[in-house]
């Protein structure tokens, strides 16, 4: 039986809408996404999750990362919104040139917790230190 649809935040920043999203995923994909979700919350318990653009997004002082199934790569992706600012120490990011950098995961493989933790901590550090207008552009009223 499917859990009831709700868009309210649950305790700990967890979203019932994300529960529903995960419930609709095939078993292997759901388990992988749930493990990544738990890792995100273990590193930053007060992160907020919501559904945006049909996938789970995690926010902490702005958008942090998201989970989705990349149909082209046929793998689960963890995308970092400010990924272009993160040092790719492990060479795990996709090689596209977009601002959002993705890490891909196979359902049959274990998650390298140390590596994912490194990237999540870097993303959190960026979000904790960024200002609303991080480019330093002053807005003048005319």
Tokens 């793998």: give the residue. Answer: 75
The domains located in the chain, with CATH, are: 11-128 (3.90.1150.200)
Q: Are the C-beta atoms of 49 and 37 separated by less than 8 Å? A: yes
Q: What is the pLDDT of residues 86-137, one digit of tens each?
A: 999 999 998 876 889 999 999 999 999 999 999 999 999 999 997 654 444 4
- Where residue 22 falls among pLDDT bands split at 50, 70, 90? very high
Say what the pTM is.
0.83
Q: How far is CA 97 from CA 65, 84, 90, 93, in A?
A: 17, 8, 17, 10
Per-residue pLDDT, averaged over 80-85, amounts to 93
Rounded to an integer, what distance in angstroms lies between the CA atom of residue 77 and that of residue 3?
24
Q: Which long-range contacts link 59-68 to residues 24+ away (Cβ below 8 Å)? A: 60/124, 60/127, 60/128, 61/127, 61/128, 61/130, 62/127, 62/130, 64/123, 64/124, 64/127, 65/40, 65/120, 65/123, 67/33, 67/36, 67/37
Q: What is the pLDDT of residues 25-63, one digit of tens each?
A: 999 999 999 999 999 999 999 999 999 999 999 999 999
Reduced to 3 states, what is the DSSP secondary structure of residue 131?
coil
pLDDT higher at 74 or 9: 74
């Amino acid at each position: 039986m499917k859990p009831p649809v709700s868009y309210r935040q649950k305790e700990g920043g967890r979203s019932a809408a994300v529960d529903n999203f995960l419930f609709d995923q095939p078993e292997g994909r759901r388990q992988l996404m749930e493990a990544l979700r738990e890792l995100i919350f273990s590193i930053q318990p007060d992160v907020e999750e919501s559904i945006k653009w049909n996938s789970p997004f995690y926010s902490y002082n702005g958008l942090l990362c998201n989970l989705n199934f990349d149909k082209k790569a046929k793998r689960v992706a963890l995308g970092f919104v400010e990924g272009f600012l993160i040092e790719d120490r492990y060479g795990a990011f996709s090689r596209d040139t977009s601002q959002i950098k993705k890490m891909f995961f196979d359902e049959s493989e274990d998650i390298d917790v140390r590596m994912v933790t490194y990237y999540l901590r870097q993303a959190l550090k960026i979000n904790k230190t960024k200002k609303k207008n991080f480019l330093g552009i002053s807005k003048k009223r005319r």
